[in-house]
Structure 1
Amino acid sequence: MQAWLKAAADRLDVSAIRLAEQSLARRYPALALDFLVWEHLPRPVDYPEVSAVPRLGISWCSRCLAEGFANDEPAYVRQQWVLAASGFCHRHRWPLEDRCNACGSLNWRFATPARGPLRMICGACWRPLERASVSTLDAEKAARACWDHAITFELQLMGAMAGKTPDQFRFNFTSASQLLDQVRDICSLLNRSPPGHDHWGGRTRAIALNDFACDAITPGMRDYRFLSYDEPNPLATATPLLRRCLLAAAHAIIDSDPGTTTALFGPDAPPAIDTFVAGMNRELLDSYPAATGHWSPTFTRQIEAAKQRRRRRSTLAKFKLRRFAGNTAFAEV
């Protein structure tokens, strides 16, 4: 690592100490590898010579790029753009993107024009990436309050990665590591295939995440439904769109404030934690707190209370069904 740091410092013509001070590890000491965005995950394999080289996935904020171009500044990658706990630019409060708004290509590169500063352009159609999506611009006014709630939670996660204690009014008796663990587990559960589903090569849309549809989080894609992705933490390889949906759902599930669910999913939405528990396989959900043991006591109690409400609703539904069947049989006699 020291050799790599020295080589990078020599190539960039800066001191190794100054370069290390700008690193993600220095700014976020509690940052785990699965809270970074990866094009190819770093994972041990038996044959490393044929494995994909781990590489960070990069998204961008079109407003950051536009602001830099207007100020005659060269385009560059911000640290926040490679964090899996972020689906929005926190400076401009704007959704991050990972593809060209004109042609949809995922390929991009830096380019030096004949006049003006260095720019990020699409590798397919060569259009500059500072152009914002039309659907996002159209949705901005109506979706702003929802975006602000989502960004508030992302800031809590980034603070947790920096080792800061979360807001105890919202996440009481929850440490930084517990908040990150809860988000990791919830996102994995939300995007996991239910037992017995085997469609689209083992992938299905019958996942709990699709119970948390939010048009403001997916501008231009009404009632968008995701396919399952059975990874320990899907945030690490998710697109910005999927990251925003996962984090919004996790926020509403963990945060006990009912106003959060209302702001994200509408005034008629039931408590998010009840929706989460109702849509999960019982055995799978029961195994998580017991197997991991790293959820906060507050969140564990909230999950248990939601399970009890589910059991009461199930018992009541069975009672009503039997009563209806009895009344029908009596009427026939």
Structure 2
Amino acid sequence: MASIEIPEETAGRDVHAAIPDDFRLESGQRLTATEVVGRLSGPEHAPLVVVAGGISSGRFATRWWPSVVKAGGPVDLNRLRVLAFDLLPGGGEAGVTITTADQARLLALLLDALGAQRIDAFVGASYGGCIGLAFAALFPERIGELAVISAAHRAHPAATAVRGVQRRLLAFARDCGREAEGVALARQLAMTTYRTADEFDLRFSQTAPAGAGEPFPVCDYLIAKGSAYAGATSADRWISLSDSLDRHSVDPRLVRCPLTVVGFSSDTLVPIADNRELAAGAPNLRRLVEAPSIFGHDAFLKERELVGRVLHDVLNPLTALQPSEIAA
């Protein structure tokens, strides 16, 4: 039987749903985790919006997406009930093969525990956008609007190529007993795909270090980013979630809810051509937004004005009719 805490404050409260003993991943595996954990924020009777982000995100959406999920923000905690959740597997599970459809099914367990038969909207960025697409395909009757940012219906082979190197690096470092160093190095490699050559050209000089093998200025930046991330996740968890991204595949024709797609022309992980293909195949496209950005894949975090305007257009109709009643 699922247990649940009901939020009393807009600041948010954790919610829990038990994972049934017979729950199996598409791979046939069974998670060692016994529950899905989310965080519910906002007025109790407001429209319900699920927010999900990249593989580093989790239930504290106000921390990893503070420009978007906040009181008075594009995902307005004064006017919307917002649910974010921790991605599985957790840090203690090894060798887990999990798909975006599995994540969507785990989210459904959390919604069942909340007694929420239907969500008014799903806002997903990066991996979270992939989960949103999978949820819409699996549970068409349980979703209103879907907004997908920096995500598409499939993994691009060029992105898989880089993530495959990351996974082999992580496994090598783990097996050598130097896991934290491997996580830091994999993060450095990831940062080169999250950002763009143009941004690096503007920010960093090519001043040569004194000796061969010493870091250039851009390397100092990457080393700092890697060091800051070294303890953020385990190698096994990153391998599972990275692999999950590359298994992601959803037929756009199955995404029947109203769909907004936001893509950035500089994103090498999710090429704009894939955003266009998703939009062209979806039967109920509301809007395809294509935009330039110097920030590449990280544009969903950095292009705050554009993302804010789009999400306002998607979500504002949910609360436009009776805002005073929602706040009551």
- TM-score, normalised by the number of residues in structure 2: 0.27
**Higher relative contact order (Cα pairs below 8 Å, separated by 6+ residues):** 2
Greater helix content? 1
Counting strand residues as a fraction of each chain, which structure ranks higher? 2
TM-score by length of 1: 0.27
